[in-house]
């Protein structure tokens, strides 16, 4: 395994960044009247997965803070899944788009949970 020196070295960071960018591109199709209710919410929660992970990475000297930020990332990933479900139910996403992103967030959640269980190996 390669040495992890920055948050962007983490597979889960790259996956969550990629998923957030996919959501950004897809959400450009959402109707204008959804701007403040759905579009801003889904973009914000998807980006917060990465930002909380980045904050936690910089606080690895404090295991409790690191774990808390991983938990925050998981909460944001779960929130993103809910917004994706709303977007799909409203007809703004194709079923395949929804399923693909929902599965990607399940993968992201699994990796974040695994990091939480192995927090000692990330902290110093």
Is 65 within the bounds of a domain?
yes
Which positions ≥6 away from 86 have C-beta within 8 Å? 38
**Distance between CA atoms of 99 and 113, rounded to whole angstroms?**
21
SS3 27: helix
Is 80 within the bounds of a domain?
yes
SS3 93: coil
- When divided into structural domains, the chain yields a total of 1
Q: Once rounded to an integer, what is the mean pLDDT over residues 79-89?
A: 98
Residue 77 has which token pair? 């990933």
**Domain limits for position 16:** 10-27+34-118
Q: What average pLDDT does the chain have?
A: 96
Top-confidence residue, 124 or 108: 108
> Exposure of 88 by Cβ count < 10 A (0-12 exposed, 13-18 middle, 19+ buried)?
middle
Is 124 within the bounds of a domain?
no
Confidence (pLDDT) at 4: 82
Question: CATH number, domain at 101?
Answer: 1.20.1440.60
Confidence (pLDDT) at 1: 52
Apex CA 9: angle with CA 4 and CA 12, to 5°? 115
What is the model's pTM? 0.95
Confidence (pLDDT) at 2: 64
Q: Mind listing the pLDDT tens digit for each residue in 27-77?
A: 999 999 999 999 999 999 999 999 999 999 999 999 999 999 999 999 999
**Distance between CA atoms of 82 and 95, rounded to whole angstroms?**
14
Is 2 within the bounds of a domain?
no
**Distance between CA atoms of 93 and 6, rounded to whole angstroms?**
34
Is 87 within the bounds of a domain?
yes
Q: What percent of the chain has pLDDT over 90?
A: 95
């Amino acid at each position: 395994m390669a040495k992890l020196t920055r948050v962007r070295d983490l597979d889960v960071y790259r996956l969550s960044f990629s998923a957030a960018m996919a959501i950004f591109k897809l959400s450009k199709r959402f109707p204008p009247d959804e701007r403040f209710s759905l579009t801003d919410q889904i973009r914000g929660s998807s980006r917060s997965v990465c930002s909380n992970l980045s904050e936690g990475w910089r606080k690895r000297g404090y295991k409790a803070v690191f774990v808390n930020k991983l938990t925050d990332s998981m909460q944001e990933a779960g929130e993103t899944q809910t917004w994706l479900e709303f977007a799909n139910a409203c007809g703004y996403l194709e079923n395949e788009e929804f399923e693909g992103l929902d599965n990607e967030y399940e993968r992201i959640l699994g990796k974040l949970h695994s990091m939480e269980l192995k927090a000692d190996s990330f902290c110093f």
